[in-house]
Amino acid sequence: MKFIGLEEHMMPAEIFEAAGANGLDMMEPQYLEGLNDLSDGGDARLVKMDAANVDVQVLSAAAHFVQGLSPAMSVDLSRRLNDKMAAVVKAHPNRFRFFVTLPIADPKAAVVELRRGVEELGAIGTMIHGQTNGVFLDDPSMHPILAEVERLGIPIYLHPGFPPPEVYKAYYSGLDDFVAKMLSTGGWGWHAETGMHILRMVSALVFERFPNLQIVFGHMGENLPFSLARADEWLTPRIKGLSSSVADQVLEHVHITISAYTTVAPLLCAIQVMGADRILFAVDYPWGDSAHTIDFLNNAPISPTDRAKIAYGNAEKLFTRM
């Protein structure tokens, strides 16, 4: 069966070097451990894809830190990242696609780079890493970016980002430093914030303003499928101007991937809440194991039809530029 991976990261070494200490200091230790695999966009990556039976990887920059840099540096690094990933796709057009990286701290420049990335370089969507210096996608300053995304007819892949310093101090201080970093990221904080990010967008009527906007996010829905009914009960009666329920807006505008989640219970919950048509395949390479993730999906207690939708069918339908 065909497999299209949607959260498969790449970070060329020269981009890390260009970022300098400021950029690297914002990266967590677990990211630096995978630097060699992150840097590779050629034969070594293809060997691992072939061994795991991954047909296509949609490359995305592991560029959490780029959004938090100064606007000028963020613009420069975003362009360089996008040129590099486009070159990988050009060299292996049957095996790779990519998400354009944006300098979110400069919304006007982000619109320009988004247009260039999609219309000139061939990106099939964009990946945005959570809030940027405390600003979420529901903020009015982000509307030009969302409008251009909608005009281009591409989805946003909303990936977790690091918490602002104020949040980190309030929620994670008093713990062992490394444990606090893990709790604030993959251990819990990433998922809680990203699920909340979607609910902020619904609450701020973003999808009313941009009715064709589609969002993808990973990690089996960032806790949202499990908690959607509760959020719907509390928020729907209280949001003025909402044309449908919170749950309906999520189900109309949100897709999730299975990245880094390889246990059955969350998958079954996601299918029951979101429906198999809204779930896509992803590994979270290089930190997720491609072969293990494929083996999980191949053996999950779901129908062959749903398995095929998740593995590749939904991606081909959603990403029209695939």
Q: Number of structural domains, the chain?
A: 1
The pTM assigned to this predicted structure is: 0.94
pLDDT, mean of residues 79-83:
93
> Where is pLDDT greater, at 19 or 118?
118
pLDDT, mean of residues 84-113:
95
Average pLDDT, the chain: 92
- Residue 135's Cβ-count burial label (10 Å; 0-12, 13-18, 19+) is middle
Instruction: Please say if the pLDDT value at position 18 is more than 80.
Output: no
- Which is nearest to 303 in space by CA: 280, 276, 279, 282? 276
Residue pair 131/164 in contact (Cβ under 8 Å)? The answer is: yes
CATH number assigned to the domain comprising residue 274: 3.20.20.140
Among residues 284, 289, 295, 306, the one annotated as catalytic is 284
Residue 109 pLDDT class (50, 70, 90 cuts): very high
| DSSP conformation letters of 261-299 | ---HHHHHHHHHHH-GGGEE----BTTS-HHHHHHHHHH
- Residue 120's Cβ-count burial label (10 Å; 0-12, 13-18, 19+) is exposed
Instruction: Please say if the pLDDT value at position 239 is more than 80.
Output: yes
* Residues of the domain holding 73: 4-318
pLDDT per residue over 161-202, tens digit each?
A: 889 999 999 999 999 988 998 899 999 999 999 999 999 999
Residue 36 pLDDT class (50, 70, 90 cuts): low
Phi, psi dihedrals of residue 205, rounded to the nearest 5°: 65, 30
Give, in degrees to the nearest 5, the angle at Cα 205 between 201 and 210: 90
Terminal Cα-to-Cα distance of the chain (whole angstroms): 17
Residue 162: per-residue pLDDT: 87
Structure tokens at 72: 């000028």
284 is catalytic: yes
The alpha carbon torsion through 10, 40, 77, 290 (nearest 10 deg) reads: 0
Q: How many CA atoms lie within 13 A of 177 on its CB side?
A: 2
Residue entry with tokens 């989805």 = 155
Instruction: Please say if the pLDDT value at position 127 is more than 80.
Output: yes
Residue 1: per-residue pLDDT: 94
pLDDT, mean of residues 8-26:
66
